[in-house]
Structure 1
Amino acid sequence: MFTKSVCATLVATSLVLVPAKEARADEAAALIGGAILGGIIINEVNKNKARQRQQQQQQQQQQTRARTSTRSSGISAAQREQNRNVQSALNYFGYNVGSVDGSIGRKTRAGISNYQSDMGYAIDGRLDDTERSFLLNSHQRSLASAHVAPYNQILASQGQQGLLRTYRNEQLGIPTPQVQQPQVQQATAPAPTQDTVPARANTGALPDFTFGAQARSANEHCNEINVLTAANGGLSSGGNVSDAEFALNEQFCLARTQAMAESSRIEATIPNMSGPQIEAQCKGLTQAMTPHMAGIDSKSPSQVIADGSSFLRNSGRPMDQLVSGGKVCLGIGYRTDDAEMAMASGVLLASAGQLGYGEIVSHHLREGFGAAKGQGNVAGDWMRLALNAAQSGATVLGQTPDRIAVLSAALTGVPAQTGTAALPVFPTVPSGD
């Protein structure tokens, strides 16, 4: 019995121990399986991370290529055009940003910062929508109103930046003083009777000086013309030229304003030269052209142009540079009220083939700016030269169809020989009758 009992106990014990071993083997297999499965999962996770990193790198490379492409080939055409408009406006108002290429670089940022400083904006070299809108609108406004009082006087005395500050002040509610048209009151004096004799004034105490002749001022002339234009409600039109002489004066003042704007745009692209240095160069232009303008009040335009053209060709200077220099000096002549400089620049430009600038020479001869006044015949010849060039497509200084129509209509209304229309003309009697 004891032996059976022992055997039974051993068998039972073995039955108990065997499942335990099997259980530990299953657990070991499960652990090994879990480790393998975990390794697979971790490996897949790592692969996914690697794929994500690769995708991110590819996206970054694509974005970098896109940014590089944008910098090299462009920003959108609309954005580049807006940038050009910003650069043109900055140059016009005296914030020199160099060439107008639509690319906002270091020089343009500096110009924007100067503009922001003058206008009281936060200075960061980047335009927000408000700053950009005011700049561009002011540029367009100046082109339309710079020749009208009182803005023409502000432009003449303070320059383009003074005009911009005036627009800024108006935006802030600060009114711009208006120029009042002088009113002439005609007093009607009572007619003297036989019983009353007008008393003779005592003139012994009045000063008596001998005054030298003063050169006419184109600046003052255009101020007066612009006041009258404003009083008349606007410029004369081609179909409504009631006063030919006044219409020509209006067109002269328009051309003068255009010349100053054109000069400022070109001047902004001149490197390494200050304003006084450029002005000194223009005084040299006046001296160089003066001998070739001798007798301009009596010579035909073709004679003057032939002489000037020969001089320019023999100067050894590239013709395109001479033309640009003439445009710069024409505007500086008007800005500094130097009629001789403006006249010489107009002759230079016409001699260089820019025949549309004959309009400038015509106005100067007609009104006596840098020349003797009243050269009606010669002035008309220069104007016809300019109009023929403009009608052939060689327009300058805003010679739009409207301007050409006014100039043409006014030219036909001006007497051919100014100053001789009042001379008497009598028929001659044949000799022998």
Structure 2
Amino acid sequence: MITGAVLGASLAIVPADTARADAGDFIAGAIIGGIVGANAKKQRSSTNRTYRKKTYRSTIPSTQQGRSIQASLNYFGFDAGSVDGQLGRKSRNAISQYQAYLGYPVTGQLSAFEQNLLISSYNRAQAGGYAVQQQVAATPDGTRGLLKTYRAEMAGQSPAGVPAPQTTIVAAPQPAPQPVPVPSTTVAAAPLGAAAGLAAAVAPSTGLPNFMGAGTQASLASHCNTVSLITNTNSGFTTLASMSDPNVAINEQFCLARTYAIAKSEELVSQIQGFTPDQIAQQCEGFGPAMKDYVSSLSLKPRDAVVADVSSFILTTGMSPAQLAGTARICMGVGYRTDNMDVAVGSALLLYAMGEGVYGELMGHHLSQGFGPAKRVDMATSWYDAGLAAVDAGAAAVFVPGQPERTELIRAAAQRMTNGGAAGNLPQPQPASSTGLPTFSISE
């Protein structure tokens, strides 16, 4: 049972001012205990002069992602102006210059891959120290040249004309070592997928690192970076006519859905006043422990049984359907952005259980690829069918609405993948947790 103690016994729930989303679908606000309650009270007591002041402020939302983009552009010599998180005309011009430099279509709008390359390259350059200075000095393009260097390395290529820093070690002659017998150890390495991460753990008895059984989840963000790189290399997304590998098509659509979920979340977050995106992300972390068991059960129980469990949980939250749906949309994008699959998949489960069948697609993706719940291609089928059936019945598309053949592409790819797929290994169920949920209010 989610109780008032979870959010703090002294925190009162007070409706916040609302702002209509650009798409006109929702009225977004926020209710997070005393933080937003105090802010709402302050807004209600503001004078008309305060509101007149607001009309002179920029209407462009300021986001943490915007600040990261601007800082990255400025570092590589594409002048985005002050780092205020507002992607205005100057930032768009800088994005266009960045796209032109790397040979991408000049749109002024970053694709998911272009954004990931830009920000990850900036973070890598910042952490690289003296080695990065050597690389910059070795290329005629200066810091910009790092972008092409890092992109080539992501593609497994050696960048032309950019020598790697070298260190020469002069060793004095040494006598030939005598052979020393060592104990023989045989390690049977299980096959790892392209997106599987290494889980470095220390064996308690030997102190030796163990990379084979620590169980750290693979990163969906890293996986989607790889998918985007392959898609760009192959000159575009898979279509029904060009599909040769159904798994490639599914992964492209999976990562597109993730991108759309993040974008929708950021759109709603920008309309919430009274706290920062980082504060919202911290609140959304509460979704993870509360939904962890339901996410794990996806690979253990039939779809109807999972939905029944989640529906029972919804009744214990004490939140209205509109409020819970708004919270889920916000936290789903936060979960994808922070690579927290319990938050992301748990939010999608809540939306599905409340009647939004199109989100069944996401559970199908997660089960077919093994991000969050254990990989179960066989159990992904019913979730794909449910999501596609909702679209067939007239439900509005929430992911990539401008792609006309998307439904049939996923249908064909899922059927082909299921026919040739196999169930993955099942994890042990995790113990239940009673962490509470954050509360964001979004109503029709």
| TM-score category (smaller protein) | 0.5 to 0.7
2:116 to 146, 149, 152: 152
- Tell me the equivalent position of 2:386: 385
Match of 1:182 among 153, 156, 159: 156
Aligned partner letter, 1:147: A
Give, in whole Å, the separation in 2 of the partners of 1:410 and 1:244. Answer: 4
Tell me how far 1:104 sits from its aligned partner: 10
Distance 2:321 2:284 in 1: 16
Instruction: Report if aligned partners of 1:286, 1:344 keep a CA contact under 8 Å in 2.
Output: yes
Give the whole-Å Cα distance in 2 for the aligned partners of 1:143 and 1:391.
35
Query: Cα distance, 1:217 vs. partner?
Result: 0.4
Please give the residue correspondences for 1:348-367 in structure 2 after superposition, counting only pairs within 5 Å: 348-367=350-369
CA distance in 2, matches of 1:132, 1:147: 17
Distance 1:358 1:141 in 2: 35
TM-score (norm 2): 0.55
Query: What secondary structure is seen at the aligned counterpart in 2 of 1:342?
Result: helix
One-letter identity of the residue aligned with 1:300 = P
Counterpart of 1:151, as a letter, is Q
Shift of 1:307: 2.1
Counterpart of 1:303 in 2: which secondary structure?
Answer: helix
2:5 is matched with which residue? none
Q: Which residue of 1 aligns with 2:189?
A: none
Sequence identity (%): 28
Cα separation, partners in 2 of 1:208 and 1:267, compared to 1, 3 Å:
same
Contact 1:147 1:253 in 2 (8 A): no
Q: Identify which range, 248-257 or 111-120, moves more after superposition.
A: 111-120
C-alpha spacing 1:104/1:283, structure 2 compared with 1 (3 Å)? same
User: CA separation in 1, counterparts of 2:223 and 2:82?
Assistant: 41
What residue number does 1:251 align with? 253
Separation in 1, partners of 2:106, 2:362 = 24
Alpha-carbon distance change, 383 to 270 in structure 1, aligned in 2, over 3 angstroms? same
CA distance in 2, matches of 1:147, 1:348: 26
Q: Cα distance, 1:270 vs. partner?
A: 1.5
Shift of 1:223: 1.2
The answer (yes or no) to whether the contact 2:80–2:93 under 8 Å persists in 1 is no
Q: CA deviation at 1:210?
A: 2.1
1:373-403, CA deviations, whole angstroms, 9 ceiling, x for partnerless residues?
2x01211111111111122222212244222
Distance 1:221 1:416 in 2: 24
2:320 paired residue number = 318
Give, in angstroms, the shift of residue 215 of structure 1.
Answer: 0.7
Q: Which residue of 2 aligns with 1:109?
A: 57
Q: 1:210 to 1:393 in 2, by over 3 A?
A: same
Cα 1:110–1:311 change in 2 (3 A) is same
Corresponding residue for residue 210 of structure 2: 210
Q: How has the CA–CA distance of structure 1 residues 361 and 112 changed in structure 2, closer, same or farther, with 3 Å as cutoff? A: closer
Change (3 A) 1:208 1:411: same
In the alignment, what sits opposite 2:241? Answer: 239
- CA offsets, 1:50-92, max 9 Å, x none? xxxxxxxxxxxxxxxxxxxxxxxxxxxxxxxxxx69xxxxxxx
The answer as to 2:408 corresponding to 1:405 is: yes
- Out of 347-356 and 297-306, give the one that drifted further: 297-306
Q: Contact 2:364/2:380 (CA < 8 Å) preserved in 1?
A: yes
Q: Aligned AA for 1:387?
A: L
* Deviation at residue 157 of structure 1 after TM alignment: 8.1
> In the aligned structure 2, how far is the partner of 1:107 from the partner of 1:141?
32
2:340 to 338, 358, 364: 338
Asked whether the 8 Å contact 1:376–1:416 carries over to 2, the reply is no
| CA RMSD after TM alignment | 4.4
Structure number with greater Rg is 1
> 2: distance between equivalents of 1:141 and 1:321?
39
Residues 362 and 382 of structure 1 are in contact (CA less than 8 Å); yes or no, is this contact kept in structure 2? Answer: yes
Length-normalised TM-score, structure 1: 0.56
Partner of residue 415, structure 1: 418
Distance in 1, matches of 2:107 and 2:309, equals: 38
One-letter amino acid matched to 2:116: N
**Cα pair 1:390 1:396 within 8 Å, conserved:** no
Q: Supply the distance in 2 between the matched residues of 1:203 and 1:141 (Cα, whole angstroms).
A: 59
Give the whole-Å Cα distance in 1 for the aligned partners of 2:52 and 2:145. 34
SS in 1 for 2:210: coil
- Give, as a single letter, the amino acid of the residue that structure 1 aligns with 2:323: Q
Structure with higher helix content: 1
Structure 1 residue 122: Cα displacement: 9.9
CA apart distance, 1:259: 0.9
Shift of the 287–376 alpha-carbon distance from structure 1 to 2, 3 Å rule, reads same
CA distance in 2 between counterparts of 1:132 and 1:213 reads: 41
Shift of residue 273 of structure 1?
Answer: 2.1
* Alignment-derived partner of residue 273 in structure 1: 275
CA gap 1:143/1:269 in 2 versus in 1, 3 angstroms: farther
Q: Give the equivalent residue in structure 2 for 1:225.
A: 227
- The match for 1:396 is 398
Partner secondary structure for residue 235 of structure 2? coil
Give the partner amino acid of 1:239.
A
- By how many angstroms is 1:143 displaced? 9.9
